[in-house]
Amino acid sequence: MQPRPPLKPLNEALAQLLAGAMPLSASETVATLEADGRVLAQDVVSELHVPPQDNSSMDGYALRCSDVIQIGTALPQSQRIAAGMAAQPLADGSLARIFTGAPLPPGADAVVMQEDCTVLDASDGARPQVRVNVLPQHGQWIRRAGEDVGRGDRVLSHGTRLGPAELGQAAGVGMDSLRVLCRPRVALFSTGDELVMPGACPPAAMPPGAIYNSNRFFLASLLRRLGCDVSDLGIVPDQRAATVEALRSAAQGHDLILTSGGVSVGEEDHIKPAVQALGSLDLWQIAIKPGKPFAHGRIGQAHFVGLPGNPVSSFVTFLLLVRPLLLRLQGVADAGLHGVPTRADFDWSRPDKRQEFLRVRRNVQGGLDLYPNQSSGVLTSLVWGDGLVNVPPGQAIARGDTVPYTAFAELLV
């Protein structure tokens, strides 16, 4: 019997995974309002200044500083300018009533807040007078044309994943549609004769050894959150022929085949030989806990990823390995795991020889609490927790130590 090869460290496995993941080239144009979560296929370059002209950042009065050389100077109001109106040149020795976002009248060089002015009673039909109760400073409360974006500036780069701020930026330079990469097409199925779909059998009637297929639900949700077009192929029985046929069919018209379960080394685990019969398998078992039985290969043009059947293992390996792969396919350059140094308010005295990812939750003191049961089958730990602590192989944690913490909120958007 040949000796079993050593488990591959996570960083090496991820580097190998990403090295073989070329960004998808197909793109499409979508309305900016519908582009949330999509990835830009080309740069967005502004054709105008933002703001388009000098404007007021306050409700108040636009004036020339040279007309107010002492506190208490009163000037007549010569015009009123609201946002969206055209401004006339400022008459000599006058000021203009102005509102936030309104264009600055030519000749004005400062805006004084209305709180720093007093409107005096007008008499005999004269123009109202306004007393300025401060000495204005040149340029105060003025937003200059192009101070946010200049004409010709690249405001968003190819490969940017679009969120609310990016969509606002695109709309702010007049983009009503955007060129984005097509969604990765993912075929998803689970393997296991023990799996039952919720609704197919009431809890009281569940057969011995049967479990509800929770993985199917969270994996489909994770894929859609990452902008994928998901084909849910259901549950495949633990049979070699059925597994081969499911994989062969899934490879047609998909960029990734994602399976859950059947990637261990038992007699009923058919994924490995089925993939090898149809294509190639280049990653098998990773030195992490939870999540050791992870597989990656190719079937035709499609990537294949096999996740463990245990729900926590499946969830964690998706975040660590599948998420970066899918983002790379969409042209996103930086998809790594970023740990924030955080205080551990727990002890972890039984380190594993593999790299571990512990389910934790931030407490009101700013530290991290540990879920007491770190088993790979305890999905409750993911519901309770709000992130992961990355523990190097063989390293114990003492209360008060600083550990790298990654929030689920960073990984699930």
pLDDT for residue 124: 63
Torsional sign, CA 330, 332, 334, 340 = negative
Q: What is the pTM of this model?
A: 0.84
pLDDT for residue 228: 95
Tell which CATH classification among 3.30.70.260, 2.40.160.10, 3.90.180.10, 3.90.105.10 matches the domain 27-50+147-181: 3.90.105.10
Structural domain boundaries in the chain? 10-25+183-329, 27-50+147-181, 55-143, 340-411
pLDDT, one tens digit per residue, over 49-74 is 999 999 999 999 999 999 999 999 99
pLDDT for residue 222: 96
DSSP letter, residue 70? S
Q: CB-based contacts of 207: which residues, under 8 Å, 6+ apart?
A: 196, 201
Q: CB-based contacts of 56: which residues, under 8 Å, 6+ apart?
A: 62, 98, 99, 100, 101, 102, 104, 111, 141, 142, 143
pLDDT band of 264, cuts 50, 70, 90? low
At the top level of CATH, the class of 55-143 is mainly beta
pLDDT, one tens digit per residue, over 221-240 is 999 999 999 999 998 888 88
pLDDT for residue 3: 60
Give a three-class secondary structure readout of 161-222. ECCHHHHHHHHHCCCCEEEEECCCEEEEEEECCCEECCCCCCHHHCCCCCEECHHHHHHHHH
* pLDDT value at 367 more than 90: yes
Q: Classify domain 10-25+183-329 by CATH number.
A: 3.40.980.10
Mean per-residue pLDDT of the chain: 92
Backbone angles phi, psi at 44, to 5 degrees: -110, 120
Domains 10-25+183-329 and 55-143 share a fold: no
pLDDT for residue 2: 54
pLDDT band of 267, cuts 50, 70, 90? very low
Architecture of domain 340-411: Beta Barrel (2.40)
At 12, is the secondary structure helix, strand, or coil?
Answer: helix
pLDDT, one tens digit per residue, over 308-335 is 989 999 999 999 999 999 999 998 877 7
315: nearest Cα among 360, 379, 227, 372: 379
